[in-house]
Structure 1
Amino acid sequence: MESSYLVLSFSPLPAELIKTLLSPYRGMLDRDIEVIVFRNLGDRASLFSLLEKADVIIGDYTMTIPITRDMCNAMKKTRLIAQPSTGYDHIDIQACAEKGIPVANIGGANAVSVAEYTIMTALALMRRLIEAHSRTSRGEWPQWELMDRGAFELHGKIWGIIGFGRIGREVARRARAFDMRILYYDKVRASPDIEENYGAEFAPLPRLLKTSDVVSIHVPLTPETRGMIGEKELRLMKPSAILINPARGEVVDEEALARALREGWIFGAAVDVYSREPPTQDHPLLKLRDVNLILTPHIAGATTDARARIIQVTIDNVIRVLRGEKPVNVVNMSL
């Protein structure tokens, strides 16, 4: 038997910190834990040597270090890849499944944070809050102009949710407090009990886009969701509707969204994620001026509260598999 378990981390947390987070659970295990943080992909010999020895791998929450098929094939004893984020599109989950290695994300650890961000940006867009603040702070007084151009309540409107998982359901829970009608689209329809619990009605995507006043996206990036919202879909939306994307940048055609805002197909948009992060200065959304647009740097799920939960969920899963138990929040296979 090896003298210790090896936890290999691609995330930029110090090894000492990870070791400290794991230390309270030492009494539950039959041996010590060694933690190595490795981020030098140029040193392939060391990388593949560590992959062969790793019992558990912690993925990179910055998503700059991928886990490829070649890397997966080098794993000889890995019981789990624990990804400390919701997204996992930098990991070849199919290759991991073929190798019998479960990949787990953080489940709903940041669902509340993303849901609150979504509600916050919806309110800000409907009331043109960013423009109102910017112009007032410059000494302007656009009171009547902003009122004449339109500002809207959430009360009594229709909220369309694309992706009715943990985050989508948290959004529905909060939107109901504004007496909104909730529509949702998901590739798997929820049970009648869940629909009743959240006050949500299933709708095909075209109908959801045509009828909703607020559309928010909460799907992972998959071959099916890549480019899910393009020009055709944006043109289905009301000119008074807003779009919020805290999911993945590649789900939305960014060029089409920029045109929709510039030409007034929709009332506004909030974007927290981009097809390339950070976006370059020639990104179509960064070049827009005088439109109802909120841009944020992928922080929807990154509150201090959520980050603490994310770390705890990841550590719990690592300990779980080292004790011989099944991991939770697995995204690439059924256990």
Structure 2
Amino acid sequence: MKVLVATDKPFAKIAVDGIRKEIEAAGYELALLEKYGEKAKLLEAVKDADAIIIRSDVIDAEVLDAAKELKIVVRAGAGYDNVDLEAATAHNVCVMNTPGQNSNAVAELAFGLMVMAVRNMYNGASGTELKGKKLGIHAYGNVGRNVARIAKGFGMDIYAYDAYCPKEVIEADGVKAVASTEELYATCNIVSLHIPATPETKNSINYDLVDKMPKNGLLVNTARKEVINEADLLRLMNDRPDLEYVTDIMPVHHAEFADHFPGRYFSTPKKMGAQTAEANINAGIAAARQIVGFLKDGCEKFRVNK
């Protein structure tokens, strides 16, 4: 059995060493394709792979057509919208992610963005504090729960909304569960987004929803670019000079945000929520273990396609 690590943006060496240890201990061969740049190189490398570990690399129908021996793809990370799930199912390929491995890294970055925003982007002017502010967590999954944990240390008043997480689970963590997104935004000074990009959530963070936020509201996005209705948010920030937006995913209209709202908008140059040494190692090794579990025992615990 051959396991291919196909990463245009490579894992750290320590992560690759950990992956190799897991794969070779199971009696499988490990192959590396790093910084490949051209899709043609990926298409050639997948031809004899039984399993693939990826990061943000795209696995589409063309790749799956080329990978005649492929049985499983594991995305080292939580998001998996870079994999064509329908095509994978049609090719009888299992797709998994590694939920929770990057969660603390993303949550810590969310707070880095929050602190920067309430301190006026560190421009020297007097800012405000997070203590006592009402924080809304939009989606209470692995990242959202880490955000709640950290927020307690800041002394924040914490609220959460998740359509799929029972109220009892949220409130067991000492977090106030609200009944709707509208209530979350209307209640909280700061809202931190942790929703996936799905047909239901794309463009769902729109004018009417964000406009419900109290004066001097702050929207923090470490989730996905696609969930933001950018045209609406541009219009709203123009209409409401008290609102701020900070994001870990550069918008399509980044230049417009930056030009029109200096001091009220910030984007990282590239998505970096999961870019820590710890998260890099954790996600890579988890991916390797999941592949071994699948190939040896048929374990599909983290399968995301049907």
Relative to structure 1, the CA distance from residue 193 to residue 233 in structure 2 (aligned partners, 3 Å threshold; closer, same or farther) is closer
Unaligned runs of 5+ in 1: 133-141
Highest Rg: 1 or 2?
A: 1
Q: What is residue 151 of structure 2 aligned with on the other side?
A: 175
- Whether contact under 8 Å (1:183, 1:203) holds in the other structure is no
Indicate conservation of the 8 Å contact 1:216/1:243, yes or no. Answer: yes
Q: How does the TM-score come out when normalised to structure 1?
A: 0.78
Establish whether residue 295 from structure 1 lines up as the match of residue 292 from structure 2. no
| 1:188-240 superposed Cα distances (whole Å, 9 cap, x missing partner) | 13251443124231330111111111101011111111101122222222222
The offset of 1:160, in angstroms, is 1.0
Give the alignment's Cα RMSD to 1 decimal: 3.0
Superposition deviation, residue 243 in structure 1: 0.3
Q: Which has the higher contact order (CA 8 A, sep 6+)?
A: 2
Q: Which amino acid aligns with 1:55?
A: D
* Equivalent residue number for residue 226 of structure 2: 250
Distance 1:19 1:294, change over 3 A: closer
- The question of whether the paired residues in 1 share the 8 Å contact of 2:6 and 2:42 is answered with no
Partner of residue 208 from structure 1, selected from 162, 166, 184: 184
Match of 1:37 among 30, 33, 47: 33
Q: TM-score, normalised by structure 2?
A: 0.85
Q: 2:287 aligns with which of 314, 324, 330?
A: 314
Q: CA deviation at 1:328?
A: 4.4
The residue identity in structure 1 corresponding to 2:265 is L
Would the aligned equivalents of 2:131 and 2:154 in 1 still touch at CA under 8 Å?
A: yes
Decide which of 83, 91, 99 is 1:91's aligned counterpart. Answer: 83
TM-aligned CA distance change 1:289 to 1:202, over 3 Å: closer
Q: What's 1:138 paired with?
A: none
**1:1-335 aligned within 5 A:** 4-7=1-4, 9-13=6-10, 20-25=17-22, 28-29=25-26, 31-37=27-33, 39=36, 41=38, 43=40, 50-59=45-54, 61=55, 63=56, 65-132=57-124, 142=125, 146=126, 151-190=127-166, 192-264=168-240, 266-276=242-252, 283-297=255-269, 298-333=271-306
| Cα distance between partner residues in 1 of 2:42 and 2:242 | 48
C-alpha contact 1:12 1:37 (8 A) present in aligned 2? no
Instruction: Summarize deviations over 1:296-319 as a string: whole Å, max 9, x none.
Output: 131122122222222222222233
Distance 1:248 1:225 in 2: 10
Give the drift of 1:111: 0.8
Aligned length: 304
Please identify, of 308-317 and 168-177, the stretch whose mean Cα deviation from structure 2 is larger. Answer: 308-317
* Cα pair distance change 1:299/1:40, threshold 3 Å: closer
**Percent identity (aligned):** 23
5+ residue gaps, structure 2, are none
Q: Which amino acid is the alignment partner of residue 56 of structure 1? A: A
